[in-house]
Amino acid sequence: GENVEQHPSTLSVQEGDSAVIKCTYSDSASNYFPWYKQELGKGPQLIIDIRSNVGEKKDQRIAVTLNKTAKHFSLHITETQPEDSAVYFCAASTSPGGYQKVTFGTGTKLQVIP
Amino acid sequence: GAVVSQHPSRVICKSGTSVKIECRSLDFQATTMFWYRQFPKKSLMLMATSNEGSKATYEQGVEKDKFLINHASLTLSTLTVTSAHPEDSSFYICSARDLGSEQFFGPGTRLTVL
């Protein structure tokens, strides 16, 4: 099955600096890569996603890049703010047997220091 | 984005009792719903996938007789933890998907079994 690795597990940055989280996946059939932000005691919220036919996608301060050949994708947050502090999960998705199965990375706890 | 609700948000029960958790898609029809389990500081583990009107597909290692899933309508899925024990204590999260690829997550249910 799919295996998604995520690094780093924790990340501390100064407010205003950039944060980068990296993930690798194993199944070349994966074609959809969402990123989720999870605040304490809450469910994950989708913040950005990218499909395998696109190499980069940007939404204001958040961007995601995908390298299909190397099977890795990254989340970039620029001009970080304290409210960006949360746990971030990458995920990879395939559609085996006609339904979509999402495999999550292990999570990165981001702390933005004011 | 679409809204998924879960009820209850927190539940405490005695060992040996059964607990039912509801997951509802509030403003869209969910052709597929997913149930996840999350341990503290860990990633989300997919338990099962359910399509409306059909039996759920359970992931390897998940006991289908212990975690009963019913997806009776396009807006409601329920997870019943039968004969709960302390090791079943966890954060349970559902998600719902319409015909697109994106999953919308509920806020989660914290289950504590005494």
Say yes or no for a CB contact (<8 Å) between A107 and B42: yes
Question: Could you report the per-residue pLDDT of A87-100, keeping only the tens digit for each?
Answer: 999 999 886 555 67
Under the banding of pLDDT at 50, 70 and 90, the label for residue B102 is confident
Say yes or no for a CB contact (<8 Å) between A107 and B6: no
Q: Alpha carbon of B10 to those of A38, A94, B37, B60: distances in Å?
A: 17, 32, 14, 27
Angle ∠(A97,A44,A14) on CA atoms, nearest 5:
130
Selecting from B49, B102, B106 the residue whose C-beta is nearest the C-beta of A43 gives B106
- Give the distance from residue A72's alpha carbon to the nearest chain B alpha carbon, in angstroms: 19
- At CB < 8 Å, which residues of chain B contact A? 1, 4, 6, 32, 34, 41-44, 46, 49, 51, 57, 93, 95, 97, 101-108, 110
Q: Average pLDDT of B7-15?
A: 97
* Minimum CA–CA partner of A45 in chain B: B105
Say yes or no for a CB contact (<8 Å) between A46 and B108: no
Q: Average pLDDT of B21-37?
A: 92
